[in-house]
Amino acid sequence: MPTKKYTFHDGKGGAALAVRVTPRSSTNQVAEILNNGAVRVRLTASGNDKEINQALIRFLGDVFQIPASRIDIVAGMSGHDKLISILDMDVESVHQRILEHLK
C-alpha cells in the first residue's frame, strides 16, 4: 500500500488542540485534561451541533484572549471530539492559558 503524501497550502502559524465537549453543563469551563491529552470543555450550550460549535469557539476566544475569528474547528463538526486550530498563537501560550482556566 503506497504511503499518502500530503501537501498543505497557504499555511498560517498557530497551534492545534484536541477538545472533548460536554454540552448542557451548568457553567462554561475548562474541566480537565484527559489521559489522551484532549481538553474537556464543559459548555452551557445545548441544541444542535452548530450552536454548540459556535459556543465553543466563543468560549475558547475568551480563554485564549483572541478574536473568535482566529479559532476554527478543523475536525469534528458533529460529535463531542473536535480538533481546534488556533491561529497566531504558539503551543506554549495555548498550554499556559488552558492551565490558567483549568477548574
Domains of the chain, first to last: 14-101 (3.30.1200.10)
Question: pLDDT band at 25, cuts 50/70/90?
Answer: very high
Give the pLDDT confidence of 91-103 residue by residue, as tens digits.
888 889 999 998 7
Is-contact 65 97, C-beta < 8 A? yes
pLDDT in tens, 5-19: 544 444 457 888 999
Q: Residue 72's CB: how many other CB atoms inside 10 A?
A: 13
Cα separation, 43 vs 25, in Å, equals 5
